[in-house]
Amino acid sequence: MGRLADIYYEPSHHPAGFAEAASLIKASKEDPDKAENHFLHLSENYTWKMGLLDVLLSTSHWLLLPALILGLLYILGTWNYDYFSKQNIPYVKPWPFVGNFGPLILRRISFPDNNLRLYRAYKGHRLTGVFQFTRPRTIIRDIELLKLIAIKDFDHFMNHFTFTNPDLDPLFSGNLLLLKGQRWRDMRAILSPSFSSSKMKSMFVLVSQCGQQMMDFLEELVRKNGN
């Protein structure tokens, strides 16, 4: 009985609950050897299970690290993707890290076609939210809203997204659509008089003629190449 009690209450050999221990102690009074053998069998079985559990836990550490890294990367690549949902603005579901430019990066679609795809994503809405990588951008679809942005309240929308280096490409970087701050104000003041209604009407004929010449040239080029 003393040996049985020592084995059962040893912390490293604790195979059963108190109810089973009580039944074993009761059985040991009737047949001590049988009860002790049964208890030793339970103890060995418990030790084997604990060894298997240790192996599984040690393996899970190696599995946990990649899962943790992937989880952190996903959070990093999507941390700002709830920007439009918080403001109840419809938006095109983005990909992690690349936003709505995934098909473009994979060369499945051209840049203009990708923009057209995003523009047509939510017909009937005044604007649509898209993501340029992780940066939120807005596509304006409503003509009245465009007038407010470009004419009436233009001074509140003077900063534009710049994707060129002025030092490497000073000509294209001087485009009104790419300028910011005071440079944008100065350039707009210079160009605005050139786009008055009277001057636009006088330029329309010339622009139309140039466009027709280009179309004729392209059609002739297609006929020559047979494509």
The answer to whether residue 172 is domain-embedded is yes
Number of domains in the chain: 4
Q: Is it the case that residue 28 has pLDDT exceeding 60?
A: no
Whether residue 24 is found in the same domain as residue 64: yes
Whether residue 12 is found in the same domain as residue 62: yes
Whether residue 122 is found in the same domain as residue 100: yes
Q: Is it the case that residue 45 has pLDDT exceeding 90?
A: no
pLDDT band for position 149 (cuts 50, 70, 90)? confident
The answer to whether residue 151 is domain-embedded is no
- pLDDT for residue 84: 93
The per-residue pLDDT for range 195-214, each reduced to its tens digit, is 888 888 888 899 999 999 99
Contact 111, 143 (CB under 8 A): no
Whether residue 117 is found in the same domain as residue 134: yes
- pLDDT for residue 209: 93
The answer to whether residue 148 is domain-embedded is no
- pLDDT for residue 6: 41
User: Which value, in Å, is the radius of gyration of the alpha carbons in the chain?
Assistant: 37
Whether residue 7 is found in the same domain as residue 60: yes
Structural domain for 43, as ranges: 2-75
* pTM for the full predicted model: 0.55
The answer to whether residue 149 is domain-embedded is no
The answer to whether residue 90 is domain-embedded is yes
- Lowest pLDDT segment from 106-110, 132-136, 172-176: 172-176
- Among 47, 75, 103, the domain-final residue is 75
Whether residue 64 is found in the same domain as residue 12: yes
- Among 34, 52, 75, the domain-final residue is 75
More reliable by pLDDT, 139 or 163: 139
Whether residue 70 is found in the same domain as residue 85: no
Whether residue 28 is found in the same domain as residue 88: no
The answer to whether residue 146 is domain-embedded is no
Q: Is it the case that residue 66 has pLDDT exceeding 60?
A: yes
Cα distance between residue 135 and residue 161, in whole Å: 11
Q: Is it the case that residue 126 has pLDDT exceeding 70?
A: yes
- pLDDT for residue 14: 47
Cα distance between residue 161 and residue 24, in whole Å: 79
The answer to whether residue 99 is domain-embedded is yes
The answer to whether residue 87 is domain-embedded is yes
